[in-house]
Every structure is written in C-alpha cells, then in structure tokens.
Amino acid sequence: MTTDVRRLAVPPKPRRPRALLGAGVLAAALVVAHVIAWDATDFSPAALADGWTGMADFLGEAFPPDLSWGVLGPSLEAALVTLWIGLLGTTLSIPFALALALLAARGTTPSGWIYQLARSVLSFLRAVPEVVFALIFVTAVGLGPFPGVLALVFHNVGVMGKLWAEAIEDADPGPATALRSAGASRVQVATHALLPLVTPQLFGLLLYRFDVNVRSSLVLGLVGAGGIGFLINQSIKLFRFDQMLTHILVVLVLIILVDQLSALVRRRLGDNA
C-alpha cells in the first residue's frame, strides 16, 4: 500500500527590503523633525549651564520656607479652594460629558450627522486649554474661583466625553446586540446593556480626571481664577520666594492626599467588582 505525499509549496518570504525602507524613511523623518524642533525652540543646554548661578540664588532665597501661620494659614485655605475647584469642575461636567459621549459613540448615537456633530463639539472643547477658558471667564465674571470652575467644566466635558465615548464603543457588543434583536430602543440598549458594562471603566476615568483637574486648578490660579495658584503668583511678583516655597509644599501635600484617595477608591471598586 503506497501513500502519496503531496508537497505543499513554501510560501514566499515577505519582502523585507520594502519594510526596511519604510522604517528608514520614518526614522529619518523623526530625526529631521527633532532637528527642526531643536532649532525652533532655541533649545540650549549651554544656556542652562550658564544660568546655574541664577538658579542657585533663587533656591537660596526660597530656603528655608516661611512656615509662619500668617503665610501657612492662607495657604491651607487656598489649597482647599483649589481642591473644591477641581471637585466641582469634575462633577458638574458629568451630565454633559455623558450625554455627548452617548451621542459620540457609534452604538448609541441616533444618526451619523449627530455622531459627527458630537465629535466636533468634544474636539473643540478638548482643543481649548483650561487656561484659555479661564481667561475668557475671568473677563466675563471677574476674578475668583468661579471662572476656574467654569473653565474646568468646559474643558473636562471635551476630554471626559471623548474618553467615555471610546469606552462605550469598545464595550462587549453581545448584550447590546441581544437587546436590539428583541426590539429595544437605543436608549434601552444604552441604559441596560452598554452603560452597566462600562460603568467601572467610566468611574475609573472620572477619578483620573479629578486627579488631573486638581492639578489644573493650580495653574488656573496663576491667571486670576482663585486657589493657591493665585498666592504662588503673588509671591513670585513680590519676590517672596520663601512664601512661594511654602505654597508649593502645601500643593505637594494636597496632590499626595488626592492620589491616595483616588487609589483607595479604585481598590474599593476593584474589591466590589
């Protein structure tokens, strides 16, 4: 009994020269881009080395920090205001971000043109920095924490709406498909299939944005939007670098506490999942 053995043709090897050529072109383009960026930004390690004396004088005037209660007390109060700005800027943006996220996700948007419109709105809000929004609202409503909250709300809607829309689109399509086949509407699919699946991920992204917004609210204070950033700006203008260092240390403690709180909430969510 004989068995015929058929020899299968060996598939041709992929054309590596073309792949190597593409990688070489990409590497050359990156090198050229970095050379142009180096020249356009006046990047100069020599200038940094020559300025070490000024940096030493700055640090000498900043140390030791002024820890008197006349400086530390207002610094702690302003740090709390910074925390409240970040908190309100995050939570007040939730309903708007969620609505735009549902309209900007392919599985929940009513139509293609609404999808494109929602994506465009999110892109615009995300493209305008918080500082620009803060300058606009400071002009509109005056100095203080309120324009900082408004700036964070507008920018955070764009960022968080985009992140939530992508999370909804990446959800398991099985439950949504089953509900659609049973005749469920888009609202029912979103509320009973998609949102329950991605809620832990949405909450994790919300905590991340709260962390970022607390840091951003510090910068907003530099343009008059309240908080401890305003005190840092005042200290720099008055050349009171010892007070500035006190405010920076308070900011450091605030950021560490926010990080620990976010980590604790994430662990509790993971335990309950």
Model confidence pLDDT, tens digit, residues 115-161: 999 999 999 999 999 899 999 998 888 888 899 999 999 999 999 99
Residue 265 neighbours by CB distance under 10 Å: 15
CA dist 47 → 35, 50, 53, 66 (Å) = 18, 5, 11, 31
* Residue that wins the pLDDT comparison between 249 and 106: 249
* Residue that wins the pLDDT comparison between 110 and 270: 110
d(CA 207, CA 200): 11
Q: Output the pLDDT for position 106.
A: 83
Q: What is the token pair recorded at 137?
A: 């609202």
d(CA 139, CA 235): 23
CB 207 within 8 A of CB 265: yes
Comparing CA positions, the residue from 70, 109, 115 lying closest to residue 243 is: 70
Q: Write the pLDDT tens digit of every residue in 67-94.
A: 888 888 999 999 999 999 999 999 999 9
pTM listed for this prediction: 0.78
Q: Output the pLDDT for position 272.
A: 62
Could you confirm whether domain 61-272 is CATH 1.10.3720.10?
A: yes
Amino acid at site 56: A
Confidence class for position 4, pLDDT limits 50, 70, 90:
low
Comparing CA positions, the residue from 263, 254, 261 lying closest to residue 80 is: 254
Per-residue pLDDT, averaged over 22-45, amounts to 86
